[in-house]
Amino acid sequence: MEKIKNYINGNLRDSLSGKWIENISPATGEVYSLIPDSDGRDVEVAVTAAEKAFPAWSGLPAAKRSEILIRISELIRERLDSFALAESTDNGKPVWLAKSIDIPRAIANFHFYATGILHFHSEAHPMEDKILNYTLRSPAGVAGCISPWNLPLYLFTWKIAPALAAGNCVVAKPSEVSPMTAFMLSALCNEAGLPPGVLNVVHGYGNKVGAAIAAHPRIPLVSFTGGTKTGAEIYAAAAPMFKKLSLELGGKNPNIIFADCDFEHALSTSIKSSFSNQGEICLCGSRIFIERPIYEKFKSSFLEKVKKMKTGDPLHDDSSLGAIASKQHYEKILSYIALAKEEGGKIIAGGNPVMVQGRCEKGYFIEPTVIENLPYNCRTNQEEIFGPVVTLTPFDSEEEVLKYANSTVYGLSATVWTENLPRAHRMAARLHAGIIWINCWLLRDLRTPFGGMKHSGLGREGGFEALRFFTEEKNVCIKING
Ligand code: NAD
């Protein structure tokens, strides 16, 4: 059975505990590899290695760091197929999706920040004659990066690439639910010429490895993507040390469809924003609000498309949805479908586990599920389900839909479908979300600020925002005498 290893100080090694966690492939329900069950001791060794590597790495010209990071992206590109297969096996997502979205985006993350650092600059503020202020941005030291299971390599690299490009050394922890591609990435870093200790990957449970990173006194900044509850725990652990934090957390995003929209476009994109990656994308629009004049038409067209979707073996090209990432998450989603029924919801599509014959008969599959007849403020419409489950709700006015849309504790993203330009701007200004898509969904320019408000997070990633996060800034004021 394959054993995943920690990557510390340039070496692939077992955890100090010598214990292992079973890694299950969600499509088959079978253990297919073992994950090191690391703890605070492994994190300590990783931090020491990162500290030792920091002066040399941060002292390299940006162009040299850039070259190594580009080499990493090229090595992933050369192994695109094996990375995609590994991501699918580990996470349950269709292999075609991993091949077209997850792994290309991981490559792009490295490439983007490897080149972005070459353009990163700082400000100067001249005062009166002979006095100049300038902003000096220096890497912070050892950065902690903790990532979730839903877009494993995509989000792991979205953190470590800017951290490394900015000159930090990193102690990173991928999710124990889907750690394989982070391991594969670590295994090619030496070949890319990354010096030992610059990137350290420690595998294991969140409450051991993640908590040790959050609480470590010599890790001054932590970038975290995951659930809101975990984000709050990290916030609390980091507070006494005044760590710099970037928290990308949960969402319950509205997808608002006005009667004047481009109907076909709104319909086909709403299918994607509801069920892509089994609905396990923090940006999925799980609450669909439809203006009453087109409610019935939208509902029937949407259901027609949903009924054609196939939930099946992630290795098959015709599977629209693959497996849910873990048994625990599968049970959570099913419990929310049961809750929706208790709350008076009417299941108008799906709602059941799917039995996939053959090698996947013990896997965790759920039908794409559509529910209507629920009030906007019930638990099903307020809490993050993070699965292939959406609700449909009619509305009569902008005011009313804004009330519904803004009613949750979350504020990650929102989508609006309308051909009325003034209305689009009004909605964008009044929606409580960090990312607004008008007549589109998931279009991402890596230069733009990415993140949520309210319980969806703190800080922004992307573009220079991330390079600013991973550096400490100083104002230097010089008076030139004479
Ligand atoms: P999670 O919070 O359970 O775990 C995320 C990571 O944190 C994992 O690596 C986990 O091991 C670690 N962790 C767990 N407990 C910890 C602790 N006490 N201290 C430190 N680290 C700990 O989240 P998940 O279930 O892996 O991911 C799903 C969640 O992530 C959803 O809520 C989703 O919305 C969110 N998410 C947000 C974004 C975003 O950009 N805002 C993107 C993807 C996913």
Task: Tell me how far apart the alpha carbons of residues 257 and 283 are, in angstroms, rounded to a whole number.
Answer: 16
**What is the SS3 string spanning 54-79?**
HHHHHHCCHHHHHHHHHHHHHHHHHC
Give domain status of residue 147, yes or no. yes
In a shared domain, residues 203 and 261: no
* Nearest residue by C-alpha to atom 26 in ligand 1: 148
CATH at residue 390:
3.40.309.10
Atom 18, ligand 1: which residue's CA is nearest? 207
Mark whether 242 and 372 lie in a shared domain: no
Could you tell me if residue 104 is inside a domain? yes
- Closest Cα to atom 40 of ligand 1: 248
- Rounded Cα distance between 343 and 302, Å, is 23
Residue 148 alpha carbon to ligand 1 centre in Å: 4
Task: Provide the CB-side half-sphere exposure for 20 (13 A, CA).
Answer: 15
Do 175 and 283 fall within a single domain?
A: no
190 exposure class (CB count in 10 Å sphere: 0-12, 13-18, 19+): middle
Same domain, 49 and 137: yes
225 and 277 housed in the same domain: no
Residues with CB under 6 A from ligand 1: 146-150, 155, 173, 175-176, 206-207, 210-211, 214, 225-227, 230, 233-234, 248-251, 282, 384, 386, 412, 452, 457
Question: pLDDT tens, 137-188?
Answer: 999 999 999 999 999 999 999 999 999 999 999 999 999 999 999 999 999 9
Q: Is the pLDDT of residue 220 over 90?
A: yes
CA distances from 52 to 1, 86, 199, 217 (A): 34, 32, 12, 16
Q: Is the pLDDT of residue 228 over 80?
A: yes
Helices (H), 293-420: 295-308, 327-342, 379-382, 398-405
Nearest alpha carbon, ligand 1 atom 35: 226
Do residues 415 and 434 share a domain? Answer: yes
Whether 106 is in a domain gets the answer: yes
Say how many Å lie between the CA of residue 225 and the centre of ligand 1: 5
Mean pLDDT score, 299-305? 98
Extract the runs of DSSP E, i.e. beta strands, from 238-329: 244-248, 254-257, 287-291
Closest residue by Cα to residue 22 from 176, 170, 172: 176
Q: Are residues 421 and 282 in the same domain?
A: yes
The reported pLDDT for the residue numbered 481 is 84
* Assigned token pair, 95: 């292999």
First to last CA, the chain: 73
pTM higher than 0.85, yes or no? yes
Which residues carry out catalysis? 248, 282
Residue 451 within a domain: no
Mutational pocket test of ligand 1: of 93, 225, 331, the residue with most ligand atoms within 8 Å of the beta carbon: 225
- Angle, helices 421-430 vs 398-405, to 10°: value is 30
Would residue 427 count as lying in a domain? yes
pLDDT range class, residue 480, cuts 50, 70, 90: confident
Alpha carbon 326 to chain centroid, angstroms: 17
375 and 464 fall within a common domain: no
The residue range of the domain holding 287 is 254-446
Mutating to test ligand 1, I would choose from 90, 155, 235, 282 the residue with most ligand atoms within 8 A of its C-beta, which is 282
What CATH number corresponds to the domain at position 108? 3.40.605.10
Q: How many domains does the chain have?
A: 2
Cα(460) to centroid(ligand 1), Å = 16
Mean pLDDT of the chain: 98
59, 41: one domain: yes
Q: Are residues 135 and 159 in the same domain?
A: yes
For tokens 């993140």, the residue is: 451
pLDDT digit string, tens, across residues 180-205: 999 999 999 999 999 999 999 999 99
Q: Is residue 481 part of a domain?
A: no
How many helices (H) and strands (E) are present in the chain, helices listed first?
Answer: 16, 23
- Summarised one tens digit per residue, pLDDT across range 406-449 is 999 999 999 999 999 999 999 999 999 999 999 999 999 999 99
Name the percent of the chain lying above pLDDT 90. Answer: 99
- Cα distance between residue 93 and residue 449, in whole Å: 27
102 domain residue, yes or no: yes
User: Are both 330 and 461 inside the same structural domain?
Assistant: no
Q: Do 139 and 259 belong together in one domain?
A: no
Among 303, 273, 416, 322, residue whose Cα is nearest residue 369: 303
Q: Report yes or no on 482 lying in a domain.
A: no
Is the CB of residue 436 less than 8 Å from the CB of residue 254? no
Arithmetic mean of pLDDT, 13-39: 98
Q: Are strands 389-395 and 369-372 parallel, antiparallel or unpaired?
A: parallel
